[in-house]
Amino acid sequence: MSSIRVAAMQELFTRRPIVVNPPSEKVSDYFGTDTFGLETMKRYLPSGAFENVKKAIDTWGHIDRKDADAVASAMKAWAMERGATHYTHWFHPLNGSTAEKHDAFFEPTKDGKVFEHFSGKELIQQEPDASSLPSGGIRNTFEARGYTAWDPSSTAFIVDRTLCIPTVFVSYTGDALDYKAPLLKSLFALDQAAVEVCHYFNRNVNKVISTLGWEQEYFLVDEALYYARPDLVLTDRTLMGHASAKDQQLADHYFGSIPERVSAFMKDLEYDCYRLGIPIRTRHNEVAPNQYECAPVFEEANQAVDHNQLLMDVMKRVARKHHFRALLHEKPYKGINGSGKHNNWSMLTNTGTNLLAPGTTPKTNLQFLTFLINTIKAVHDHADLLRASVISAGNEYRLGGNEAPPAIISVFVGKHLTKVLHDLERKIPTKRMTPNEKTELKLDIGKIPEILMDNTDRNRTSPFAFTGNRFEFRAVGSSMNCAAPMTVLNVAVANQLAEFKTDVDALIENGMRKDEAIFRTLRDYIIHSKKILFEGNGYSEEWKQEASRRGLTNISEATEALKAYLTPSSVDLLTKYHILSEKELHARYEIRLENYTKKIQIEARVLGDLAVNHIIPTVIKYQNCLIDNVKGLREVLPTSEFGDAAGYQLNSIKKISKHKSLILEMVDEMINARKVANKIEDIRKRAEYYSQNVKPFLDEIRRHIDKLELIVDDELWPLPKYRELIFTR
């Protein structure tokens, strides 16, 4: 083993689990202690102010300055009691991570002293500038100001003695520069549209929220090994490495017992999460070695998105404390499973009904079918946009890789619901339904709950699957902000529900009874969206062919998939509900393309460096050993007598030469391709050039390096190998 690898392994042997014991056995004793949730707000606020704030949150209303001042001073008192010295507006810029800029609570006084101060003005709005964050050209330097504005619907929290206030981030001209602003608008749109539709079934509904439960997958790697891999440090994934002889073939990691050091890390992570009010409930080993998952109890979607962003942050921090690095990349290792973030999504009414849970009576079941079928149609109509919302340089390696859903968007509903939909499609007569027919239909539908109880067939290969009382969108990448896909889903469903209301009302106006109008409309929708329904194996070759016959798109290449942002149907949908203006949409499209380009650019640079400065010198060293050896052999064992004595070495010398020159040639070509690409002005064309002409080199060069890994003396190989990265913990 090379000295770098030996040093890393030696460090590894000194590791012990770092056990952190929470102050109490009971989570309820410390859950949410670092958050300024509604409960806390109620305790700290005068009751009038609390009622006003609560009402504003529930009704998407405005919080006036007096109440904001009250909240600010309550927050300050609460935070300072907990030792906070600073506050920050915490937001989700379009670089995918979270941003913060801390300010101390104190203000100077005239006599040179300071006093602690935090007003409603500072709570509501800040101007962090932050002009280097991506804006897609929205912020010209002369009007570069960016503003953050308080989002009262998500809880403030304390991290590292800093009060963090969730905010949206907008430009001087009011354009959204973050993920949260469009998400909030989509939640509003969904609320409005869903309430209207609920009124067909229940007049008491006055609010519908979208619920999200994410499942976060990640890898852990020891920090000593991590630092010995410049590719992991700089790109979050390995750009080379031959497959380990054994990796996940035996499925012996999945759901296995959690290694001690990892378990200590998870408990510590959970402790931090609980104090921050993130309700992590599930933890387990995932399929690939050193891959894990955690999942919370679902929450209101905006809160859940914030909690996921916070979790990713906390996870990285806690991992460091345990001498691990958490890899959130969608595909850190070639040849073994990558990481996703399933988004479990549903809608919940203020009356406590999960709109995607089959009911117990024919009436509630009709409501269930209404929301189910409208969601299916929304996905059918906006499948390309949904895909665009989750495509990225990292996710490109995962989607369609026979480990994650394919790049074909389809919907799985299970055997029983398939039958229900089929029956519904066939049964509704075009004329007026007889009471008998109606009862029969309702009774049939009334059977759903019992059947679903034991509906355990969960097609893991489907990108969008109904799992009993929610849909699970599985194409989301592990490193992503869930807000982007959730925004698209919410607004697509909102739009669909509004269309449904229009269609049903039109039939009612023409004299049709309500139930019948609903049935009729749903039936039309089933027929319209049928092609998106697929129950079979999504990984199979046949599905690709079948999907293409059905006219479903299969786009796994990012620059192509991203085009869906700008199609007339996407622009219509997103502008109609003011989710994004055309300007904002174009900006986002460009940011995504730029991000894609930069990721490949960085990877190409790192790979070039590793190849030329790490791998090639190593293989030359080894080749020289072999050459010396051959020469020596020839001296002591004259060729005439032992013709084959150096045969193996000679063969290796030749192979090394071949791979070496191919690698060097391709590194040069790759650099030239980058030079050409970087001169292209048009952002889309540049990204396409990177995708088509730079990215392929990453795989090609790697292939030869991985071959060399098998030839070169293990003692010389400079980078930790896959077996070391994925099996040591």
Which of residues 164, 228, 295, 670 is near ligand ADP by CB under 6 A?
Answer: 295
Compose the 69-98 pattern: x for residues touching Mg ion by CB under 5 A, - for all others: ------------------------------
Token pair for 30: 């410390």
Residue 142's contacts (CB-CB under 8 Å, 6 or more residues apart) are none
Q: Are 631 and 650 in contact (CB under 8 A)?
A: no
Q: Which residues pair with 342 in a beta bridge?
A: 215
Here the tokens at position 315 are: 């996870």
Query: Choosing among Mg ion, ligand ADP, none, which partner's interface includes residue 289 (Cβ < 5 to 8 Å by kind)?
Result: none
365 binds, among ligand ADP, Mg ion, none (CB under 5 to 8 A by kind): none
Which helix (H) or strand (E) is 292 found in, with range?
Answer: strand 291-296
Q: Of ligand ADP, Mg ion, none, which one does residue 298 interact with (CB within 5 to 8 Å by kind)?
A: ligand ADP
Instruction: Please identify, among the stretches 48-56, 338-346, 395-403, 575-583, the one whose residues bind Mg ion according to the rule CB under 5 A.
Output: 338-346
| Closest CB 205 distance from ligand ADP, rounded Å | 16
Q: What is the number of residues in the chain?
A: 729
Stretch that binds ligand ADP, among 93-101, 188-196, 289-297, 475-483 (CB under 6 A): 289-297
Contacts of 413 (CB under 8 A, 6+ apart): 372, 376, 421, 465, 466, 533, 535
* Other beta carbons less than 10 A from residue 464's beta carbon: 25
Residue by residue, DSSP assigns 190-233 as HHHHHHHHHTTT-TT---EEEEEEEEEEEEEEEHHHHHT-HHHH
Stretch in the footprint of ligand ADP (CB under 6 A) among 54-62, 294-302, 514-522, 557-565: 294-302
In Å, how far are 76, 223, 589, 662 from 374, measured between CA atoms? 45, 48, 27, 54
Is residue 44 within 8 Å of 77, Cβ to Cβ? Answer: yes
Residue 686 binding result from ligand ADP, Mg ion, none, given CB thresholds of 5 to 8 Å by partner type = none
342 binds Mg ion (CB under 5 A): yes
In whole angstroms, the minimum distance from the beta carbon of 213 to ligand ADP comes to: 2
Candidate segments 62-70, 284-292, 337-345, 352-360, binder of Mg ion by CB under 5 A: 337-345
> What type of residue is 94?
L
CB of 124 to Mg ion, least distance (A): 38
Handedness of CA 470, 475, 479, 484 (dihedral sign): negative
Q: Are 562 and 591 in contact (CB under 8 A)?
A: no
Tell me the closest approach of the beta carbon of residue 375 to ligand ADP, in angstroms: 12
CB of 278 to ligand ADP, least distance (A): 11
Using CB under 6 A as the binding rule, the residues of this chain from 458 to 477 that contact ligand ADP are 469-470
Burial of 302 (0-12, 13-18, 19+ CB in 10 A): buried
Contact partner at residue 690 from Mg ion, ligand ADP, none, CB < 5 to 8 Å by partner kind = none
Neighbouring residues of 181: CB distance < 8 A, sequence distance ≥ 6: 168, 169, 170
Single-letter amino acid code for the residue at 240: M
What is the 3 state secondary structure string of 241-276?
Answer: CCCCCCCCCCCCCCCCCCCHHHHHHHHHHHHHHHHC
Residues 6+ apart with CB under 8 A from 283: 258, 266, 270, 292, 293, 294
Question: Are the beta carbons of 283 and 289 closer than 8 angstroms?
Answer: no
Q: Which pairing describes strands 162-171 and 280-285: parallel, antiparallel, or unpaired? A: unpaired
The least CB distance from residue 296 to ligand ADP, in Å, is 6
Q: Counting contacts by CB under 5 A, is residue 341 touching Mg ion?
A: no
Residue 457 Cβ, how far from ligand ADP at the closest point, in Å?
Answer: 13
In the region spanning residues 202 to 241, those forming contacts with ligand ADP, defined by CB under 6 A, are: 211-213, 215
The site partner of 198 among Mg ion, ligand ADP, none (C-beta below 5 to 8 Å per kind) is: none
* Shortest distance (Å) from residue 213 CB to Mg ion: 8
Q: Is 470 in the site for Mg ion (CB under 5 A)?
A: no
Residue nearest to ligand ADP (CB): 213
Nearer to Mg ion, 4 or 295 (CB): 295
Which of ligand ADP, Mg ion, none does residue 171 bind (CB under 5 to 8 Å by kind)?
none
How distant, in Å, are the alpha carbons of 69, 75, 346 from that of 118? Answer: 9, 9, 38
Binding partner of 33, given ligand ADP, Mg ion, none, CB within 5-8 angstroms per partner class: none
* Long-range contact set of residues 511-514: C-beta below 8 Å, sequence gap at least 24: 512/432, 514/200
The item of ligand ADP, Mg ion, none sharing an interface with residue 469, based on CB under 5 to 8 Å by kind, is ligand ADP
Q: Are strands 162-171 and 86-91 parallel, antiparallel or unpaired?
A: parallel
Q: Binds 282, which of ligand ADP, Mg ion, none (CB < 5 to 8 A, cut-off by type)? A: ligand ADP
Burial class of residue 729 in the structure, from the number of CB atoms within 10 Å of its CB (0-12 exposed, 13-18 middle, 19+ buried): middle
As measured in angstroms, the least distance from the Cβ of 471 to Mg ion is 11
Maximum Cα–Cα distance across the chain: 105
Interface with ligand ADP (CB under 6 A), residue from 93, 134, 277, 296: 296
Count residues binding Mg ion (CB under 5 A). Answer: 1
Among 126, 216, 344, 496, binds ligand ADP (CB under 6 A): 344
Residue 554 token pair: 């299969």
Q: Which is nearer to Mg ion, 342 or 501 (CB)?
A: 342
Nearest residue to Mg ion, by Cβ distance, number only:
342
Rounded to an integer, what distance in angstroms lies between the CA atom of residue 131 and that of residue 139? Answer: 8
Rule CB under 6 A: is residue 345 a binding residue for ligand ADP? Answer: yes
Let me know the angle formed at the C-alpha of 310 by 305 and 312, rounded to the nearest 5 degrees. Answer: 100
523 binds Mg ion (CB under 5 A): no
297 binds, among ligand ADP, Mg ion, none (CB under 5 to 8 A by kind): ligand ADP
236 contact choice in Mg ion, ligand ADP, none (CB below 5 to 8 Å, kind-dependent): none
CB of 356 to ligand ADP, least distance (A): 7
Is the Cβ of residue 154 or residue 346 nearer to ligand ADP in the bound state? Answer: 346
Stretch binding ligand ADP (CB under 6 A), from 175-183, 233-241, 341-349, 485-493: 341-349
Residue 724 binding result from Mg ion, ligand ADP, none, given CB thresholds of 5 to 8 Å by partner type: none
Interface residue with ligand ADP among 104, 114, 297, 453 (CB under 6 A) is 297
The residues binding Mg ion (CB under 5 A) are 342
Residues near ligand ADP (CB under 6 A) are: 211-213, 215, 282, 295-298, 344-346, 354, 469-470
